[in-house]
Amino acid sequence: MNVDDFNRTAKILGKKYVPALLKELTKKNWVKANDVASYIGITTATAVNYLHNLAEIGLLEKRKIDGLTGEVWVYRLGTQKYSMELNIEDK
């Protein structure tokens, strides 16, 4: 992983509620952002942001399902182990 990707990933993983969010997801299968928000005591908007970012870096899987008011995203852990490797060489 290059320095920019490493820094972005570290920033996402360092957010205040991310450890609690990830821990909660180890207990669940597919969950909606509002459920995650309720479990850990954050706003739904914050949960959406965190879940989206965690999916972007490959920690979570996401898919759309039909909800009561239209399609909604649901998330689950893609892996229970995640490692980062920094390549500091210029290429």
pLDDT tens string 67-81: 778 899 999 998 777
Has domain 3-77 been given CATH number 3.10.290.10? no
Is the pLDDT score of 2 beyond 80?
A: yes
Residue ranges of domains in the chain = 3-77
Q: Residues 15-69: pLDDT tens digits?
A: 999 999 999 999 888 999 999 999 999 999 999 999 999 999 999 999 999 977 8
- Count of beta carbons in the 10 Å neighbourhood of residue 44: 14
Q: What pTM does this model have? A: 0.85
The residue-averaged pLDDT of 3-13 equals: 92
Q: Residues 24-34: pLDDT tens digits?
A: 999 888 999 99
pLDDT band, very low/low/confident/very high, at 90 (cuts 50, 70, 90): low
* 25, 41, 51, 82, 84 from 9: Cα distances, Å: 18, 23, 13, 11, 8
Q: Are 63 and 37 in contact, with CB atoms under 8 Å apart?
A: no
